[in-house]
Amino acid sequence: MESSVNRDACAPGERVPVPPAASGQERTSWRKSSHSEENNGNACVEVRFPRWRAVVMRDSVHPDSTEIPVPAEEWVSFIHQVKFHGF
C-alpha cells in the first residue's frame, strides 16, 4: 500500500520523516526527542504512532492531559518546518 504523504516536504536527497506505523510498524509507546533533555526536559511533547497514517501528541509535563491526534501528512509538514526552518 502506497502512502499519500507529500514526499516534496523534504529537500532533495533527504529522508522523508514518515511515522513508523506507515511502514507497518505499530508504535504504541510514547517517545520524545533525545534533544529535549539538553535545555529543559520539561518543555517538550511526546508522540506515539498508534496506527497507520496517525500520530498522537501530548504534553510531557502533563501526560494525563488531552492527547492531540494529527494526520501523518501534517506531521511530516511539521517535522519539515522544524528541521529546515526552525522555530
Closest CA to 18 of 28, 7, 26, 29: 7
**Residue 86, pLDDT score:** 75
pLDDT band at 1; cut points 50, 70, 90: very low
Distances (CA, A) of 22 to 14, 18, 64, 76: 18, 7, 26, 12
pLDDT band at 85; cut points 50, 70, 90: confident
Q: Is 10 helix (H, G, I), strand (E, B) or coil?
A: coil
Per-domain residue ranges of the chain? 40-87
Per-residue pLDDT tens digits for 11-55: 445 554 555 544 555 557 888 877 666 555 566 788 888 876 788
When mean pLDDT is compared over 2-6, 7-11, 52-56, 79-83, the highest value belongs to 79-83
